[in-house]
Structure 1
Amino acid sequence: MKKFLPLFFLFILQAAFAQETIKRLVIGRDIGQLKDIRISGRIIDEITGEALVGATVTVPELDQVKVTDPNGGFELVLDRAEYNLEFRFVGYETIRYPITAVGDGRLSIRMIQEDFELDDVVIYGRDPEKNIRSTDMGAITLSVNSMRELPPFLGEVDIIRSMATLPGVSQVGEAAAGINVRGGGADQNLIQYAGAPIYNPTHLFGLFTSFNPDVVNDVTLYKSVIPPRFGGRGSSILDILPKTGALDRWGGDLMLSNISGKVGINGPLVKDKISFRGGFRASYINWFLKSLSNPDLRNSQANFYDGNVVISAPISDSNEFTYSFYTSYDDFAFASDTTISWQNNSHSLQWKSKINERLSLEALGYYTQYDYSIFNRSGISDFDLNSGIIDFGGKVFFQYQLNPTHKFTFGGDIKNLQIQPGELVPSDSQESGILPKKVQNEYGLESGAHVQHEFEIGEKIGMTYGLRYDMYSYLGPRTVRQYAENQAKSDGSAIGEQGYGEGEKIIDYSGLGPRGSIRYSLSKASSIKAGYNKMYQFIHLISNTATIAPTDFWKLSDEFLAPQIVDQYSLGFYNNFKGNIFETSIEVYYKDIQNVVEYKDGANLIMQNFLETELVPAQGRAYGIELYAKKNLGRLTGWISYTYSRSLRRVITAFEEEIINDGEWFASNFDKPHDITLIGNYKVSTNTSISATFGYSTGRPVTFPEAKFDYSGNSLAYFDRRNEQRLPDFHRLDFSVNFKFRGESKFADGDWTFSVLNVYGRRNPFSLFFVDETGAPPQANRLAILGVPLPSLSYSIAF
């Protein structure tokens, strides 16, 4: 018997090797090719058929890692040999795929989701060393799954507020719409959904983001070296990609909270060919207003909704068409007599094509519209005030992969802008003393061409450089004022007018914007990067508030208002620890801003046909240092971000009456030198997690009245220097607990989330207003939006 044991074990070993040989897939047709074998493929969800963007493909034998593109595609260049490919994506089972490469070929990989504990399984949703190895600076991608680990805002994942937890990104207050990035204004950020720009991304004056997270795949913020394919804004690009539906079966989700509810459905319109995803969300928020401390807000009414439709047709492995529709609506009745409403609508159609193994194409056309209205129904002077903007255009870019270390991107875009700054329509009542008035519409044509080259020199050095050439034309019809030379522009210095016909060119602007970054790897776990970025912005937000409000309006660059030009210089050090469990970075930056908009003292911005009489050109500069530390794995995950930054303005003109603060540098409305955020998520068990967010920042600048005086029987405040004082510092703690219940039926298989905003009831001031008192200076009063702890409870299920 002993003689047979070695033979038995030999047989077992041979069977094992035979089994391994059977599992190993032979790729390509054997034509004797030895090198530069191209293996391409696409990774999708096993159940939904949705492309998995940012999944990693690893070739351990070559220490090579690739990340899938927006279509879920990847490409490897290999020699003739055997390899053991590994496919990873956050929340999905890792796939190990042994292959033998004998010629060019293609793979189709289907991955399936799994429940996992972070202590037991290490799964990365992207290349874990991307922050070290890539030349990207200031580009941060957050998946919706990552955002779900943050305490929800009133029961919801909030995309904009999630971005504000990152270094260099801030908001001016608790009801702030938009974000401020590296010392830039809220209008310097291009927020786009499925490639279409969105001009007011908020509900209820900034308390909610108007993007339903259930129809969002991931969000990328570019804030340092912005790829040349993006243009039109000075500070950042927030690129929001929609989630497509399943190709093989129908499903959906439902969420109810004490603030709002939403429902979604997705599935195949044509099985395996055309998918559909739709989502709708609406509020029942009036009870929340009743809990606010401000009496006017307590006596107000509010409603909002948003909806999304995504239709995707992956007609082949190489071609996919996607149509996206987005709408949002708000109305807010302030103290029962004034109603403010605003609405976004956007359509986009995208085509992605892999022309051959090296060349791919992405083309997109879009139409977006933003409208706002104010309705006054006080019964005495009823009126409607309407404004809006229409933006439609197209863009196309090509990507050419010369070899694994050289990639070219090139293309162009064009857009048409139409702005209605304001139209005042009085009511039909004969008692109304208001006369109708309409501000002239504005028309502009903006276009750009771009090219970019990414390459590596050995393992140590990587470089990305590119150019973008922007062109802009301000068009008629329009009546343009002419002013006397050597006098400030005012109604009194106007000497005539000139008319321009429809489509007639009034003025042109253009500029070349170089962009580039270089990376030097100190080791596999650390690198240094430096970058430069130049941006042109031809549209401006006209506002007398520190944040986007529905009453603000947009204005195009004209012969009096030049485009904003932003030059940014960045330097960073990046280091990962303990097998990429810890990720850290330090970045410093300096920005020079030309032609930023400031306002004359006492400027009248509403219904102004000749706005140049109220504006003054300003210089801007911003600089800062950003510290970031993140723990990616383990029961306790999260990050800490700290930013020290300054955002300054200076106004010096030839006319003394236009100079602000004696021509000295002063703080912008959103200058907050210190900003720190702490995020923590603790996984108690497979089904329970706890998360908390703490934020602290310096109070933003404000202007207090220095004195008051009487004029014609009226008591008026006197203001001297602009933005010399500050609001009290901001700080707040939010907390949430999430429970996942697993039941026998689908409706018992859901998530409960309990959260508390403003745990210790901090009355952070959103603004100050002043009340006149006899015999005393104007008295300051503080308005707080969230002055008490605010609990919320939500329940969500998938079916």
Structure 2
Amino acid sequence: MKRLLPLILFLLTHVAFTQTQPKREVVGRDVGQLKNIKISGRIMDEITGEALVGATVTVPELNVTRITDSNGGFELVLDRAEYILEFRYVGYETIKYPIVAVGDGRISIRMLQEDFQLDDVVIFGRDPEKNIRSTDMGAITLSMNSIKELPPFLGEVDIIRSMATLPGVSQVGEAAAGLNVRGGGADQNLIQFAGAPIYNPTHLFGLFTSFNADVVNDVTLYKSVIPTRYGGRGSSILDILPKTGSIDKWGGDLMLSNFSGKIGVNGPLIKNKLSVRGGFRGSYINWFLGALSNPDLNNSQANFYDGNLVISAPISENNEFTYSYYTSYDDFAFASDTTISWKNNSHSLQWKSKFGEKLSLEALGYYTQYDYSIFNRSGINDFDLNSGIQDFGIKAFMTYQIGENNRVTFGGDFKDLTVQPGELIPSSEQESGILPKKVQDEFGRESGVHFQHELEFGEKIGISYGLRYDMYQYLGPRTVRQYAENQPKSEGSAISERSYADGENIISYDGLGPRGSIRYSLSKYSSIKAGYNKMYQFIHLISNTATIAPTDVWKLSDEFLKPQIVDQYSLGFYNNFKGNIFETSIEVYYKDIQNVVEYKDGANLILQNHIETELVPAQGRAYGIELYVKKNLGRLTGWVSYTYSRSLRRVITPFEEEMINDGEWFASNFDKPHDLTLIGNYKVSTNTSISATFGYSTGRPVTFPEAKFDYSGNNLAFFDRRNEQRLPDFHRLDLSVNFKLKGKGKFYDGDWTFSVLNVYGRRNPFSLFFVDEAGAPPQALRLAVLGVPLPSLSYSIKF
């Protein structure tokens, strides 16, 4: 009996232990294969069936991590053995999936969104050490789950403003359109949705971003060493990827706030083969304008909408087609006599294919159109002023995976541009004192070829280097002025004209753009990186404002306006703490910018057929240091970013009347030396969270009049040196509270979000106006867009 007791205990323990072990799935057909077993799969949402893009697949036994692609797919190469795969995605429960790899095979993983537990659990939506191990510099990807934790702006998640919370990225004001990245202008950023460029990404002059967050999967900003497959802009690339629909079940979402509302549906057109996602968003903001104290604004009206359609066809394991359509429209009737409107339309078709285990292809074609108009219906000299741009392009690149840490990417792209700078059309309904006028259309072609090689030498050193060759042609038909030598370009110095036929080459530019970075790992959790980046930009935004406005004119490089050339040097240190709970980085950079657009004093930029008479070439330089600390774990998560930077310009010409500030360096319109952002999200309970954002920055430069003088009976302001003064410093606090309610099918199911913008009512100046007072220089008056606390309430559900 004494001998049987240990045996019985052993058997009972063994049975109990065996019953607690998860069952291992045998993957693949056993054909005796021992090495290079290929395991592929797809990760989806358990409820909606949507692909989870950017989820991580980890093999702890091998310390290998893979990220899912735009179709939720992944691929692993393993030896014949037993493994436990770990699947993670932000906001979803982690899955541990035991397998026995015996041959090539495929698995399908469905993940459930989790109710946040108060215990400290780390949930990473990407490789948590990617910021350390990769050679990427200045590349930040935010998933929509991360962005949705920020306080909403007027009831909505704002993608553009979310990017402005990152180091090195800023905006010039509260209603500012576009971004200023590392000392660059708003036109130096390529913002693309589903691969198609978007030329005005805002609603209501920048108060809203014109991208519906429910149709967006993730957003990546490149601001340092930009991959060679991107070209055409000098400062950054903002790549916005749409979300595809479910391939096996229908669902949708609805959001209502006191400023706007949106609805979306998605599901299979053909189950497991063809999916569709559609979204529409519209505003009802006129009640808000009517509540404002400014008589011009409360007599105004505003409307906007945007829509999306995404059709995805994963026709096979190795081939997928995705069509994306995007549209947006705005109109703003100022005091009932002038209406400003603008609209975007874009189509893109993408094909992704795999040719075997090592070679893959991505090809995309797109068409984008941007139009804006001003309609005057005051009853006196009524007119329409129209302008726009059309952009058609194709691009393709292939990736060859030489080894696990060794790959080459190569390809090319082409685009055809047509710019209509402006056309003035008098009203035909009455006698008008305005004559019709049309500025000559512009035509250009851009093309480029590129390659990039990424490889690692052991665990310590990683290198990424590449080369891009850009080519540009400025084409006819066009009539071009010739100017006298040794004189500034003006109406008086024009001596002749030359006409070019349709499609005739007027002038060409080209250039080589090397790019590269190197990473040296100090340990598993820290590394040093250095990089260099050269970019060419052949299109410019002609504007006398600090932010994008609907009346701005896009201008192609010609024989007078040369392409912008940007050289950037970067150095960074990256360190993660406490098992990747904290991410930290410090980056320094220096940028040299050639052929920046500046304007002559008193320049007239509207309806200019010879705008070269109003422009002067300038040099630019920018430098700065960026600090970033992010916390991924616990009840309190968020990040802190601080940037010290300078953005300077200098104009030196042979002609004294064109000099600005005597040829000395001066601050650009968006030079803001200090920029601090604090982001916090606190999980109060399973269903309640509180978010806060605090921002502080130096006031942007402005030019004040120094005096006034009388000219022919008119009082005129005298301006001396440009951008010598500054607006008051900017600072603002935003708060929001989110409640996730589950009422078992009752009407209040879903998410309720209450937010307050500008909690303490700071009157941050967006611009200054000047009034004339007798016996004194013109006096400045401050215009604040958000001068009081602004509450909003939104309600969203999924169905």
- TM, length-normalised to structure 1: 0.98
What is the 5 A alignment of 1:84-95?
Answer: 84-95=84-95
Q: 1:120 to 1:22 in 2, by over 3 A?
A: closer
Structure-2 separation of matches of 1:252 and 1:178: 30
Structure-1 separation of matches of 2:746 and 2:38: 44
Structure-2 separation of matches of 1:293 and 1:502: 53
Structure-2 separation of matches of 1:397 and 1:705: 53
Q: 1:746 to 1:348 in 2, by over 3 A?
A: farther
What is the 5 A alignment of 1:701-720?
Answer: 701-720=701-720
User: What is residue 503 of structure 1 aligned with on the other side?
Assistant: 503
Is 34-43 or 736-745 further displaced after alignment? 34-43
User: What is residue 25 of structure 1 aligned with on the other side?
Assistant: 25
Secondary structure of the structure 2 residue equivalent to 1:200: coil
Q: Which amino acid aligns with 1:350?
A: Q
Secondary structure of the structure 2 residue equivalent to 1:136: coil
User: What is residue 772 of structure 2 aligned with on the other side?
Assistant: 772
Mark the runs of 5 or more structure 1 residues left unpaired by the alignment: none
Q: 1:764 to 1:79 in 2, by over 3 A?
A: same
Structure-1 separation of matches of 2:401 and 2:470: 25
User: What is residue 791 of structure 2 aligned with on the other side?
Assistant: 791
User: What is residue 82 of structure 1 aligned with on the other side?
Assistant: 82
Q: Which amino acid aligns with 1:537?
A: Q
Structure-2 separation of matches of 1:474 and 1:605: 21
Please report how far the alpha carbon of residue 294 of structure 1 lies from its aligned counterpart in structure 2 after TM superposition.
3.1
Secondary structure of the structure 2 residue equivalent to 1:315: strand
Structure-1 separation of matches of 2:511 and 2:106: 43
Q: Which amino acid aligns with 2:713?
A: G
User: What is residue 127 of structure 2 aligned with on the other side?
Assistant: 127
Structure-2 separation of matches of 1:515 and 1:524: 26
Structure-2 separation of matches of 1:282 and 1:583: 38
CA contact (8 A) 2:118 2:686 kept: no
User: What is residue 248 of structure 1 aligned with on the other side?
Assistant: 248
User: What is residue 299 of structure 2 aligned with on the other side?
Assistant: 299
Secondary structure of the structure 2 residue equivalent to 1:489: coil
What is the 5 A alignment of 1:373-384?
Answer: 373-384=373-384
Q: 1:486 to 1:40 in 2, by over 3 A?
A: same
Alignment deviations for residues 372-405 of structure 1 (CA, whole Å, 9 cap, x no partner): 0000011111000000000111111111111111
Q: Which amino acid aligns with 1:211?
A: F
CA contact (8 A) 2:479 2:498 kept: yes
Structure-1 separation of matches of 2:41 and 2:603: 59
User: What is residue 160 of structure 1 aligned with on the other side?
Assistant: 160
CA contact (8 A) 2:45 2:52 kept: yes
Please report how far the alpha carbon of residue 429 of structure 1 lies from its aligned counterpart in structure 2 after TM superposition.
4.1
User: What is residue 455 of structure 1 aligned with on the other side?
Assistant: 455
Secondary structure of the structure 1 residue equivalent to 2:93: coil
What is the 5 A alignment of 1:222-237?
Answer: 222-237=222-237
Structure-1 separation of matches of 2:582 and 2:515: 30
CA contact (8 A) 2:121 2:633 kept: no
What is the 5 A alignment of 1:263-342?
Answer: 263-342=263-342
Q: 1:479 and 2:482 equivalent? A: no
Alignment deviations for residues 86-145 of structure 1 (CA, whole Å, 9 cap, x no partner): 111112222222223344433333323222226353221001111111111111111111
Secondary structure of the structure 2 residue equivalent to 1:685: coil
Q: 1:540 and 2:535 equivalent? A: no
CA contact (8 A) 1:71 1:352 kept: no
Alignment deviations for residues 444-485 of structure 1 (CA, whole Å, 9 cap, x no partner): 111111111111111111111111111111111111111111
Structure-1 separation of matches of 2:429 and 2:713: 32
Please report how far the alpha carbon of residue 318 of structure 1 lies from its aligned counterpart in structure 2 after TM superposition.
1.4
Q: 1:22 to 1:716 in 2, by over 3 A?
A: closer
Structure-1 separation of matches of 2:222 and 2:109: 30
CA contact (8 A) 1:43 1:51 kept: yes
Alignment deviations for residues 36-75 of structure 1 (CA, whole Å, 9 cap, x no partner): 3333333233333332221111111112222223332323
Structure-2 separation of matches of 1:250 and 1:645: 48
Structure-2 separation of matches of 1:237 and 1:294: 38
* Cα RMSD after superposing both structures: 1.6
Structure-2 separation of matches of 1:436 and 1:254: 46
Q: Which amino acid aligns with 1:514?
A: P
Please report how far the alpha carbon of residue 17 of structure 1 lies from its aligned counterpart in structure 2 after TM superposition.
7.4
Structure-2 separation of matches of 1:778 and 1:59: 69
CA contact (8 A) 1:42 1:317 kept: no
Alignment deviations for residues 536-586 of structure 1 (CA, whole Å, 9 cap, x no partner): 100000000000000101000011111100000000111111111111110
What is the 5 A alignment of 1:362-511?
Answer: 362-511=362-511
Alignment deviations for residues 5-31 of structure 1 (CA, whole Å, 9 cap, x no partner): 444444445556766999323334445
User: What is residue 640 of structure 1 aligned with on the other side?
Assistant: 640
Secondary structure of the structure 2 residue equivalent to 1:747: coil
User: What is residue 681 of structure 1 aligned with on the other side?
Assistant: 681
Is 227-236 or 11-20 further displaced after alignment? 11-20
Q: Which amino acid aligns with 1:680?
A: G
CA contact (8 A) 2:122 2:581 kept: no
User: What is residue 620 of structure 1 aligned with on the other side?
Assistant: 620
User: What is residue 51 of structure 2 aligned with on the other side?
Assistant: 51
Please report how far the alpha carbon of residue 495 of structure 1 lies from its aligned counterpart in structure 2 after TM superposition.
0.9
Structure-2 separation of matches of 1:519 and 1:765: 42
Secondary structure of the structure 2 residue equivalent to 1:773: coil
Structure-1 separation of matches of 2:31 and 2:266: 44
Structure-1 separation of matches of 2:751 and 2:45: 22
Structure-1 separation of matches of 2:115 and 2:128: 20
CA contact (8 A) 2:582 2:631 kept: yes
Q: Which amino acid aligns with 1:91?
A: G
Structure-1 separation of matches of 2:70 and 2:587: 27
Q: 1:745 to 1:268 in 2, by over 3 A?
A: same
Q: 1:737 and 2:737 equivalent? A: yes
Alignment deviations for residues 683-710 of structure 1 (CA, whole Å, 9 cap, x no partner): 1001111111110000000001111111
User: What is residue 239 of structure 2 aligned with on the other side?
Assistant: 239
Q: Which amino acid aligns with 1:798?
A: K
Structure-2 separation of matches of 1:62 and 1:784: 57
Structure-2 separation of matches of 1:707 and 1:244: 59
Structure-2 separation of matches of 1:20 and 1:356: 39
CA contact (8 A) 2:376 2:382 kept: yes
User: What is residue 697 of structure 1 aligned with on the other side?
Assistant: 697
Q: 1:6 to 1:140 in 2, by over 3 A?
A: same
Alignment deviations for residues 712-766 of structure 1 (CA, whole Å, 9 cap, x no partner): 1111111111000000000011111111111110633211111111111111000
Q: 1:174 to 1:84 in 2, by over 3 A?
A: same
What is the 5 A alignment of 1:516-535?
Answer: 516-535=516-535
CA contact (8 A) 1:293 1:787 kept: no
Secondary structure of the structure 1 residue equivalent to 2:708: strand
User: What is residue 609 of structure 2 aligned with on the other side?
Assistant: 609
Please report how far the alpha carbon of residue 669 of structure 1 lies from its aligned counterpart in structure 2 after TM superposition.
0.2
Alignment deviations for residues 316-346 of structure 1 (CA, whole Å, 9 cap, x no partner): 2211111111111100011111100000011
Q: 1:196 and 2:196 equivalent? A: yes
Mark the runs of 5 or more structure 2 residues left unpaired by the alignment: none
User: What is residue 100 of structure 2 aligned with on the other side?
Assistant: 100
Structure-2 separation of matches of 1:353 and 1:45: 23
Q: 1:297 to 1:357 in 2, by over 3 A?
A: same
User: What is residue 212 of structure 1 aligned with on the other side?
Assistant: 212
Q: 1:419 to 1:547 in 2, by over 3 A?
A: same
User: What is residue 183 of structure 1 aligned with on the other side?
Assistant: 183
Aligned residue pairs, count: 799
Secondary structure of the structure 1 residue equivalent to 2:146: helix
Q: 1:780 to 1:22 in 2, by over 3 A?
A: closer
User: What is residue 142 of structure 1 aligned with on the other side?
Assistant: 142
Structure-2 separation of matches of 1:372 and 1:758: 31
Please report how far the alpha carbon of residue 172 of structure 1 lies from its aligned counterpart in structure 2 after TM superposition.
0.2
Structure-2 separation of matches of 1:9 and 1:99: 29
Secondary structure of the structure 1 residue equivalent to 2:61: helix
Q: 1:148 to 1:32 in 2, by over 3 A?
A: same
Q: Between the two proteins, what is the percent identity of the paired residues?
A: 84
Q: Which amino acid aligns with 1:276?
A: V
Please report how far the alpha carbon of residue 593 of structure 1 lies from its aligned counterpart in structure 2 after TM superposition.
0.4
Please report how far the alpha carbon of residue 654 of structure 1 lies from its aligned counterpart in structure 2 after TM superposition.
1.5
User: What is residue 514 of structure 1 aligned with on the other side?
Assistant: 514
CA contact (8 A) 1:47 1:246 kept: no
Q: Which amino acid aligns with 2:589?
A: Y
